[in-house]
């Protein structure tokens, strides 16, 4: 990330402990007029990223809290409802 962007936007928001920090940063960059690109062929390998596997309940809680912060409560609950209904529908029609 170029220095001029960091000076205008700052660093990653520490309120996002474990998820959504990259999305928040891109949103803030876009709001400041910077172009943000998505490169689907790019890959990130987490060789030492076992924290989520070792603590699945805590990891889920971090995901929930970050999602609420990023999306806002109304959108978070709306998305949760849609995803939940979609999962139930897939199980109902036998496509899990």
Residue 92 pLDDT:
86
Could you give the CA distance from residue 35 to residue 37 in angstroms, rounded to a whole number? Answer: 7
Residue 13 pLDDT:
86
Q: Where are the alpha helices (DSSP H) in the chain?
A: 3-9, 21-31, 51-54, 56-71, 73-92
Q: pTM value? A: 0.58
Contact 2, 26 (CB under 8 A): no
Could you give the CA distance from residue 65 to residue 15 in angstroms, rounded to a whole number? Answer: 10
Q: How many CA atoms lie within 13 A of 58 on its CB side?
A: 8
Q: What is the pLDDT of residues 38-95, one digit of tens each?
A: 888 988 777 765 555 666 777 777 777 878 887 888 888 888 888 888 888 888 887 6
Contact 72, 20 (CB under 8 A): no
């Amino acid at each position: 990330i170029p220095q001029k962007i960091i000076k205008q936007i700052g660093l990653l928001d520490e309120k996002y402990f474990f998820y959504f920090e990259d999305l928040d940063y891109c949103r803030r960059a876009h709001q400041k007029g910077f172009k943000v690109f998505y490169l689907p062929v790019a890959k990130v390998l987490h060789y030492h990223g076992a924290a989520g596997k070792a603590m699945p309940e805590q990891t889920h809680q971090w995901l929930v809290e970050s999602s609420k912060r990023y999306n806002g409560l109304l959108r978070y609950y709306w998305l949760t409802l849609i995803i939940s209904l979609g999962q139930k529908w897939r199980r109902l029609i036998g496509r899990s």
